[in-house]
Copies of this chain bind each other. A is one copy, B any other.
Amino acid sequence: MKNQLRDILEKLAKGEINVEQALEKLKFFPYEDLEFAKVDHHRFLRRDFPEVIFGPGKTDEQIISIAKKISEKEGNLLITKVSQSVYEKVKEIFPDAKYNSLAKLIYVKRDTSIKGKGKILVITAGTSDIPVAEEAYLTADVMGNKVEKIYDVGVAGLHRLFGEYEKVKEARVIICVAGMEGALPSVIAGITSVPIIAVPTSVGYGASFHGLSALLAMLNSCPGGVAVVNIDNGFGAAYLASMINRL
């Protein structure tokens, strides 16, 4: 490898190739080392997404310290799964920060431009799934999408879902949030042909085993078109939905 590199450099030093040719050669250099810089450039392109701080497992101090660094940058901000007390401290750094107590989400939305091409729909099976759904809703919103929500239309009362069928039809991507038997994504998949991101929730007790029942059900969803994210991961679902919605 090093010899190949030396060859290129020596040709450049000898004037046998010019700088542009050297750059070009390095671009297709084995193992794409310079491509790796593009990776980074690539990440630059992604800057259109807001900054995100994942709250779980971090101390308040760590969160505030990361927030401070970010505060020098522009753009939107999300801090996930944190308590009200963190919000109080964050507000001192970002006076325009808001807090959704159900989702335990801090968000700063300065950039309100719409980047997604269609609508993202967030559906929940039950009332108890709303905290996770709100995390998804707000994340999708802050990431520059038009977002709709339909809550509490689980399989126990499918007529309520069918009553909202217009909204389902209009969505470009659907985030489907459900705990317990986690059956809703399968039903939705049967009546639409857009991608569905299923979010199992830890809602339930006993044999729900903190979301395992919904998770397994969703992974085994019979109709095509469903993929699954982690239990309670409203953020992850919305982030993926945003990616898809920008395609």
| Interface pick from A82-90, A92-100, A205-213 | A205-213
| Interface pick from A67-75, A107-115, A224-232 | A224-232
Judging by beta carbons under 8 Å apart, are B219 and A165 in contact? Answer: no
Q: B-facing mask of A4-17, CB < 8 A → 1, else 0?
A: 01100110110100
Contact status of A13 and B10, CB under 8 A, knowing A158-B191, A224-B240: no
Judging by beta carbons under 8 Å apart, are B226 and A240 in contact? Answer: yes
Nearest Cβ on chain B to A7's Cβ, whole angstroms: 10
Nearest Cβ on chain B to A80's Cβ, whole angstroms: 10
Judging by beta carbons under 8 Å apart, are B214 and A220 in contact? Answer: yes
Name the residue of chain B whose CB is nearest to the CB of A236: B224
Judging by beta carbons under 8 Å apart, are A230 and B206 in contact? Answer: yes
Judging by beta carbons under 8 Å apart, are B230 and A205 in contact? Answer: yes
Nearest Cβ on chain B to A173's Cβ, whole angstroms: 8
A residues 1-56 in Cβ contact with B at 8 Å:
1-2, 5-6, 9-10, 12-13, 15, 18-19, 22-23, 26, 30-43, 45-46, 52, 54, 56
Q: Out of B9, B58, B243, which one reaches A128, CB within 8 Å?
A: B58
Q: B-facing mask of A185-198, CB < 8 A → 1, else 0?
A: 01101111111010
A13 to B159, CA, bound (A): 28
Nearest Cβ on chain B to A141's Cβ, whole angstroms: 16
Nearest Cβ on chain B to A242's Cβ, whole angstroms: 9
Nearest Cβ on chain B to A211's Cβ, whole angstroms: 6
Name the residue of chain B whose CB is nearest to the CB of A57: B128
Q: Out of B205, B216, B231, which one reaches A212, CB within 8 Å?
A: B216
Cross-chain pairs A/B with CB under 8 angstroms, 30 sampled:
A2-B38, A5-B37, A6-B23, A13-B15, A30-B163, A31-B159, A31-B163, A38-B169, A42-B192, A42-B193, A56-B128, A56-B203, A117-B247, A156-B222, A158-B190, A180-B220, A180-B221, A181-B186, A183-B187, A195-B240, A204-B230, A205-B231, A206-B211, A206-B230, A213-B216, A214-B217, A219-B231, A224-B240, A227-B228, A228-B228
Residue numbers of A with Cβ under 8 A of B are 1-2, 5-6, 9-10, 12-13, 15, 18-19, 22-23, 26, 30-43, 45-46, 52, 54, 56-59, 62, 66, 81, 102, 117-118, 125-130, 154-160, 162-166, 169, 172, 179-183, 186-187, 189-195, 197, 200, 202-233, 235-237, 239-240, 243-244, 247
